[in-house]
Chain A
Amino acid sequence: MSDVVEKTLTALPSLLSLDSHPGSAKLSSTSKLGNLIRGITELTSKHEEEKLIQHELLAIKEQVSSPNTTMRQMKELMVRSIYCEMLGYEASFSYIHAIKLAQQGTVLEKRVGYLAVSLFLNESHELLLLLVNTVLKVGVGLHNIHHTMPKREFRIFDCRVLCSQDLQSTNLIEVCMALTVVSQMFPKDMIPAILPLVEEKLNHPKEIIRRKAVLALYKFYLIAPNQVQHIHNKFRKALCDKDPGVMTASLHIYLQMIQENPEAYKDLTPSFVTILKQVVGGKLPMDFNYHTVPAPWLQIQLLRILSLLGKNDQSTSEVMYEVLDESLQRAEMNHNITYAILYECVKCIYTIHPKSHLLEKAAKCIGNFVLSPKINLKYLGLKALTYVVQQDPKLALQHQMTIIECLDHPDLIIKRETLELLFRITNGQNVTVIVEKMLEFLCISEDDHTTIDLVGKVAELAEKYAPDNEWFIETMNTVFSLGGDMMQPDIPNSFLKLLSEGFDSVEEDRKLRLFAVNSYIPLLRGEPGKLPQRFLQVISWVLGEYSHLREDLEPAEVLSLLAKLLDMKNSSSETKSWVLMAMTKLCKGGADASVTQEVSETYSSSLDTVLRQRAHELQYLSQDPELRARVLPRGAKPETLEVDSSLSFLDRFVSEALAAGAAPYKPPHQWQEELDQSKALSLEPYGLSLPISMSSCSITDRQSPTLLSMSSGLSGDSADLSHKGGSSALKLDGIKRVWGREGYLAQREPVEEAAQVEVPSPIQSPGRQGEGDSLHSQTPTQTPTPEPEQEKQQLASSLFVGLASQSSVSLMGKSEPTPQRFRRKAKGQGLGSSFNANEQISSSLISPPSAVDNLLCNNLLDSNNSSELAEQTSQLSQSLTTANGTCHAEAELTESDTKGCNPALRRDNCVVAAGPGPHNDPGRLTEVCLDSYLPAELSGLSHSEIAPLCANQSLNLSACHVQKEDSLILVVFIMNSSESAIQQMLLQVDSEELEVSCLCNSLAGEVTSHSVAVGQYSLTVKRPAVHVEVVGTVSYQLPAGTSQSLQFSYKVPLTSFIRPFVVSTEEYGTMWLSFSHDTKQNLTLINDNQEPLTATLNALKKKLQLHVVEVIGMEGIVACRLLQDLPCLMHCRVNAGWLAVWLRSPVPDLPDCLIYHCQRALQSL
């Protein structure tokens, strides 16, 4: 039929030019758009089209700016501008007129105006502000009309605006238009302006308006969740709306909210189940049917919500079994839409707590999908299989022949999806076959995104399951060649790291390295110009480090091969600097000298500074073998380099600069905040920003596909999560956890299925299996020609080997039949790390070899959970002791900063050695006795060491601070060291950053000789700073009558004000969204024997008195508050050997201060 249309189209120009014909005459006379279209169709070249459109645009431009143009004409002009823009020509001059049209036109003109606006402007366009006004006007106008005007006036008003009869409907159209535009393109900082009006519409009598209002709010929620938080109860009202359409619309918001925090909405489960029951039972009006299926959109939405609610929650899951069963049964019609429902049903059943008879049905469904002759269903079947295969590998076994057929499917999409499935079932036994298939696909794939993704997967499988050295190196060579320069930089990074760190056996390491060297030499001898830059960089590094392992290879030869790379035209300067580095390692003088001399001379005058530096290094080191041996020792073990990321060695410089009047440093984000005058909080959407969420992890974290899904969101998580405790709300998309060692598999295996499914050995003929399986009878493999069949069977046995045994161990981690060859040490520097020659070498060498295996990690997590519980119970009792710990730590930390007056702290009886300065001595002498002057109510609590502040002939001032649970008390001791009494003593204490309130003052104005007066002040933080300072003055009168004063200052570390902040995960989530000040930084992880995240968090907790809210996998959330009530939340995630920390607080500067202290705390360990 399409041919007919094409004929029509080709005939179009001639037909349209038949001016004599009445139809086309009308077209040409009344419609300029028609003219334009006709004109374009007649053209033969792109160039002509360009000319015509430019001409057209000029004409439009002239007309739109003419004052005589009516709105009606304007509407027509806009349509033409839209057309031109659609063809790819810019008509920006018309944008402002589009807005004008939306502002001033009649309803229909407005509509075109809005359409033009929505097509022309994007979110950031400056003209949008004008549009907001327009929308507001409409909104406000209507708002006023509805609520304030008497009915008659309202009619008059409307008539004037719209010149039409049907008031009600025209009105609606206007509101609808405004809402549509609002939902489509509203910039987030303008939401507050429009929000109340949209909210208002939730109560509109017309359901279509309510629907649109709800959807508009949904969009707002996605853009800026914290701004619509206050209307949650209105969402509930929308959920209960009598119009099913409004209710359906509200489900979008619920899906989003439940995704972020399922725990908070568990109570709605029965309601959702009831709604679904009613829908499935056909209780909705016929209007909602789609091809006789009742409200499929609604059904699917509900199924998604239910799967989120039922995940890892047996009791909630039980509520929904019945309705899921019913949904499966009802959806039996042979139509796409029912398949869509079935697919969602299956996903839901496999996500929630397992129920055996539902799983059977779901498995059957997946079977039907996979075996379907319809290609779309097959595709979805494969996706579903990928999703469930880790918990139910037998399902893959059942369909192995189909899978193999899909592997040779002519449609690349199907092929690609099959590889995804195979990737999930890879083990030590089938890895070579699967990787081979993947590489085959890579050779034909043209899509960059697919290549990057697949290359990453191959690299990962190779590292994980490589059967031997040769295979590993060869596979990686292919990966580097095919992946080219697009691949993720961490692939070469971790490959080099793996080589350099080595494994358990020295001999094995040597062999692996030698093999790598051996494989690279022929590559360089061949046509190195064809290899990607990244690969060349890897080759140069490996040759530089390990070519000495091959004894028959002269360094001179390697050097000349490397020098050849330098001469190649397409070598990037990055590659060149790698090559130069490698040459520096290799050159020994003597015969090599000429080559190196030449090279270093060429590049020592290079414009590229890095290259120039490398060249100079090469020059000097090649001439001085002794120095070279010291700088670049051969076979050196990777060492850990300490990097002081907080730059604390500059503290002194900074404080001096500050004292000299320099402006304090502001981090860039703070600058921006100050620049942004907008009142709106600039927050990214929760789901995207908080890295706990699944989506962000799966995209960024290529390295752990066993832990997270990679490109396919369908895939469940891996065994890693299976040990995790059940109650946490912030889960990754886990489906595995529910599968215990003798969990579901044992329950659900009915005898007959076991008979056909429990393929005892991988060698078993798949054909036979097919006979036993009724589903298989549908496959075309039943009567194949013998030869390809045999091939396929062979392939099947090699692909699905190990699966059966794997299933019987029930997936407690990927328990391998063969030991993993390359047991990974900690993964290399992450995605973000640039693949820079200078940094890379060091970073790949320095990372401490913290061998954290996934399984190990799990165990630790478990113990961690329990220990955390114990800690929580004893938290109150502990808090004071930890306070001591804090003081202790601070003592060391603050030493360097506070010079003259050193508030060295002491921990009960053990005095921390504080550097004895000249001022200290008098303080020290009096210290013991001052202790006893500590007010009785404070004496039981831990206090910092009593530090001398200042002294003169008559007075000795000292101070300390005492940590109480809800306050910090500053105690000032004034000792009269003179022989006579001191009178009219007045002590004043103040601070810029702190709120100081006097608690009790025993200074009765007079201090007798050799006695001590004590002042107590309660301190709370007004404005956070890294160190806060209290300044004070003592004024007094000597008996002689001369009045004197003495000034002092006392520094208190901010850490003394930190208290644990006990919140639940849900509360944390809510608060997180509402806090506007944040900062992000990478901290070093503690790598002792423990799991690094837990170890680091525990250390922070101990040192800084933080409260660890929850630890999930590689992430942890921590909360603390600064006295009195300045909360700060901290989100930590282990990422590529670092602890990526993100702090948020309602208080400016607090996150920055806290991050500083975290850094210091971790360094001091």
Chain B
Amino acid sequence: MRFLLLFSRQGKLRLQKWFTPLTDREKKKVIRDMMMLVLARPPRSCNFLQWRDLKIVYKRYASLYFCAGLEDKDNELLALEVLHRYVELLDKYFGNVCELDIIFNFEKAYFILDEFLMGGEILETSKLAVGVSMEEADTLQEEEKEQEEVGKTDKERFACGRGLRE
């Protein structure tokens, strides 16, 4: 995998992860092109695209688009499941995750991703293991008496039906 982007339907970037070095200009170009390509796709169309020499795999979960750039040898369907597993992990961590969780706690979303993928390859497939290592970190955090569950408490107020579901 070359990169992973999360952006909203409104075209706001929510998370970016680059697995190969690119210059800032190239990154901006990729982000712009991805949003243009993916957001223009009609519903129920193929989740795979071709962009330059990369395969693009994207999936929409609620208002968020998850978009991955793959090398030619990579398996598209598998990448789709990687995205899905990431959503599952987010869901497990945040509990019925929604876009707001990711906006307010984007650094957490990055940490979860780091537990799950490394250098664009799957590192840990077990939901449990990722959960455990995230919890460990959080325990530490509490020790430091930082309670940054802001987005979460906020979210609880509109609890129903905002999960990142297809």
Chain A interface (Cβ < 8 Å from any Cβ of B): 1-2, 4-6, 8-9, 12, 15-16, 23-24, 26-27, 30-31, 33-34, 37, 72, 79, 82-83, 86-88, 106-108, 111-112, 115, 119, 122-124, 163-166, 169-170, 173, 176, 179-180, 183-185, 208, 211-212, 215-216, 218-219, 245, 248-249, 252, 287-288, 290, 295-297, 300, 304, 336-337, 339-340, 343-344, 375-376, 378-380, 410-411, 413-414, 416, 447, 449-450, 695, 699, 711, 713
Report Cα–Cα, A225/B50, bound state, in Å: 29
User: Are the C-beta atoms of A27 and B136 separated by less than 8 Å?
Assistant: no
Q: For residue A449, which residues in chain B have a CB less than 8 angstroms away from its CB?
A: 50-52
Inter-chain contact A5/B21, CB cutoff 8 Å: no
B165 touches A208 (CB 8 A): no
Of all A-B residue pairs in the complex, the 9 with the closest CB atoms, nearest first, are A123-B21, A340-B77, A713-B72, A287-B126, A183-B119, A340-B78, A411-B45, A5-B63, A219-B119
B16 A376 Cβ-Cβ under 8 A: no
* Known A82-B107, A245-B124: A122·B150 in contact at CB below 8 Å: no
A173 with B136: CB separation less than 8 A? yes
Chain B: minimal CB distance from A624 (Å): 52
Q: Is the CB of A380 within 8 A of B21?
A: no
Is the pair B106, A86 in contact by a Cβ cutoff of 8 Å?
yes
Flag if B119 contacts A215 (CB, 8 Å): yes
Residue from B78, B137, B153, B160 within 8 A of A108 (CB atoms): B137
CB neighbors of A among B59-106 (8 A): 60, 62-63, 72-73, 75-78, 80-81, 84-85, 98-100, 103-104, 106
A414 to B60, CA, bound (A): 19
Inter-chain contacts of B24 with A (CB < 8 A): 122
**For the complex, what is the distance from the CA of A380 to the CA of B75, rounded to whole Å?**
10
Q: Residues of A contacting B63 with CB < 8 Å? A: 2, 5-6, 9
Could you list which residues of chain B lie within 8 angstroms of chain A, going by C-beta atoms? 9, 12-16, 19, 21-24, 28, 42, 44-53, 60, 62-63, 72-73, 75-78, 80-81, 84-85, 98-100, 103-104, 106-107, 110-111, 114, 118-119, 121-126, 128-129, 133, 136-137, 139-141, 143-144, 146-148, 150-151, 153-154, 156-158, 160-163, 165
The residue on B at minimum CB distance from A411 is B45
CB distance from B107 to the nearest CB of A (A): 6
By the criterion CB–CB under 8 Å, are B123 and A215 in contact? yes
Contact (Cβ within 8 A) B104 A37: yes
Residues on B with beta carbons closer than 8 Å to the beta carbon of A12: 100
A24 to B156, CA, bound (A): 11
> Which one of A27, A122, A164, A380 contacts B143 once the chains associate, using CB atoms below 8 Å?
A164
User: Quick one: given A82-B106, A170-B140, A695-B72, are A216 and B126 in contact (CB under 8 Å)?
Assistant: no
Let me know if B80 and A376 touch, CB within 8 A. yes
A2 touches B77 (CB 8 A): no
Please state if A413 and B48 are interface contacts (CB–CB under 8 Å): yes
* List of B residues within 8 angstroms of A83 by Cβ: 106
Q: Do B136 and A212 touch across chains, with their CB atoms under 8 A apart?
A: no
* A380-B77 contact, Cβ under 8 Å, with A1-B165, A288-B126: yes
The residue from B42, B50, B77, B156 contacting A711, defined by CB atoms under 8 A apart: B50
Report the Cα distance A603→B150, complex, angstroms.
71
Q: Given the complex, which residues of A lie within 8 Å of B141, measured CB to CB?
A: 108
| Contact assessment for B148 and A413 in the assembled complex, using a CB-CB cutoff below 8 Å | no
**Shortest beta-carbon distance, A697 to chain B, in Å?**
13
Is A173 in contact with B72, judged by CB distance below 8 angstroms?
A: no
Given B45, B107, B121, B124, which contacts A79 in the complex, CB threshold below 8 Å? B107
Return A691 CB to nearest CB of chain B, in Å. 16
B93 to A: closest C-beta gap in Å: 15
Point out the residues of chain B lying under 8 angstroms from A211, CB to CB: 118, 123-124
Q: Output the nearest chain B residue to A179 by Cβ-Cβ distance.
A: B118
Are the C-beta atoms of A106 and B144 separated by less than 8 Å? yes
Given contacts A9-B99, A111-B111, A296-B81, contact A218 B144 (CB under 8 A): no
Question: What residues of B have a CB within 8 angstroms of the CB of A252 in the complex?
Answer: 121
A-B contact pairs, 17 of them (CB 8 A): A2-B62, A30-B150, A31-B148, A33-B150, A34-B150, A72-B146, A82-B107, A83-B106, A111-B111, A164-B140, A185-B21, A249-B121, A340-B75, A340-B80, A343-B75, A376-B77, A447-B51
A202 CB to closest chain B CB (Å) equals 15
Question: Who on chain B is nearest to A184 by CB?
Answer: B119
* Separation of A27 and B152 alpha carbons in the complex (Å): 10
Beyond A180-B118, A287-B129, A379-B46, is A119–B16 a contact (Cβ under 8 Å)? yes
Q: How many Å lie between the Cα of A5 and that of B166 in the bound state?
A: 12
Tell me the nearest residue of chain B to A304, going by C-beta: B73
Rounded to whole angstroms, the CA-CA distance of A179 and B123 in the bound complex is 12
Closest to A78 in B: B107
Cβ–Cβ contact A5 & B78, under 8 A: no
Task: Give A165 to B21 CA distance when docked, in angstroms.
Answer: 37
Complex Cα spacing A185 to B17, Å:
11
* B77 and A336 form a contact (CB under 8 A): yes
User: Which one of B28, B42, B99 lies within 8 Å of A88 (CB-CB)?
Assistant: B28
B44 touches A5 (CB 8 A): no
Taking A297-B122, A376-B47 as known contacts, 17 extra A-B pairs with beta carbons closer than 8 A to each other, sorted by chain A number, are A2-B60, A4-B162, A5-B99, A15-B157, A33-B104, A34-B151, A86-B13, A88-B28, A108-B141, A122-B24, A183-B119, A295-B125, A296-B78, A340-B80, A343-B75, A413-B46, A416-B50
Q: How far is the CB of B52 from chain A (nearest CB, A)?
A: 5
Looking across the interface, which residue of chain A has its beta carbon closest to that of B57?
Answer: A376
Contact B140 A107 (CB under 8 A): yes
Find out whether the CB atom of A26 lies under 8 angstroms from the CB atom of B153. yes
Given A37-B104, A86-B13, decide whether A336 and B154 contact each other with a Cβ distance below 8 A: no
Q: How far is the CB of A716 from chain B (nearest CB, A)?
A: 14
**Is B125 touching A297 in the complex (CB atoms < 8 A)?**
yes
> What's the nearest-Cβ distance from chain B to residue A581, in Å?
35
Of A4, A24, A378, most B-chain CB atoms within 10 Å: A4
B44 and chain A: residue at smallest CB distance = A375
Q: Which residue of A lies closest to B63 (CB)?
A: A5
Check B78–A215 contact: CB distance below 8 A.
Answer: no
Of A37, A212, A378, A699, the residue contacting B123 (CB under 8 A) is A212
Shortest Cβ distance from A682 into chain B, in angstroms?
A: 15
Closest chain-B Cβ to A842's Cβ sits at a distance in Å of 33
B137 touches A376 (CB 8 A): no
Q: Is the CB of A87 within 8 A of B13?
A: yes
A1117 to chain B, nearest CB (A): 24
Most chain A CB within a 10 A radius of its CB, from B44, B53, B154: B154
B110 cross-chain contacts in A, Cβ below 8 A: 115
Report the minimal beta-carbon distance from A302 to chain B, rounded to whole angstroms: 13
Q: What is the CB-to-nearest-CB distance from B160 to chain A, in angstroms, rounded to a whole number?
A: 8
State A82–B136 Cα separation when bound (angstroms).
Answer: 24
- Chain B contacts of A340 at CB under 8 A? 75-78, 80-81
A15 to B156, CA, bound (A): 13
Contacts A8-B98, A379-B46 known; A208 to B140 CB distance under 8 Å?
Answer: no
A344 and B121 in contact (CB under 8 A), knowing A86-B13, A414-B46? no
Q: In the complex, what residues of A have CB within 8 A of residue B104's CB?
A: 31, 33-34, 37
User: In the bound complex, what is the Cα–Cα distance between A447 and B40 (angstroms)?
Assistant: 13
Q: Which residues of A contact B133 (CB under 8 A)?
A: 173, 176, 208
CB atoms of A169 and B128 under 8 A apart: no
Task: State the CA gap A24–B100 with chains docked (Å).
Answer: 13
| Residue contact A122 to B77, C-beta cutoff 8 Å | no
User: Which residues of B have CB within 8 Å of A9?
Assistant: 63, 99-100
Knowing A4-B161, A215-B121, say if A376 contacts B76 (CB, 8 Å): yes
- In the complex, how many angstroms separate the beta carbon of B26 from the nearest chain A beta carbon? 9
Are B49 and A413 interface neighbours, CB within 8 A?
yes
B97 → chain A, closest Cβ, in Å?
Answer: 11
A26 / chain B contacts, CB cutoff of 8 Å: 150, 153
Q: How far is the CA of A164 from the CA of B136 in the complex (A)?
A: 12
User: Do residues A31 and B150 form an inter-chain contact, with CB atoms below 8 A?
Assistant: yes
* Docked pose: A304 CA to B75 CA in angstroms: 10
C-alpha spacing A218/B24, complex, angstroms: 24
**In contact, A112 and B107 (Cβ under 8 angstroms):** yes
B136 and A169 form a contact (CB under 8 A): yes
A532 to chain B, nearest CB (A): 22
Tell me how far the C-beta of B149 lies from the nearest C-beta in chain A, rounded to whole angstroms: 9
Task: State in angstroms the CA–CA spacing of A216 and B120 once bound together.
Answer: 11
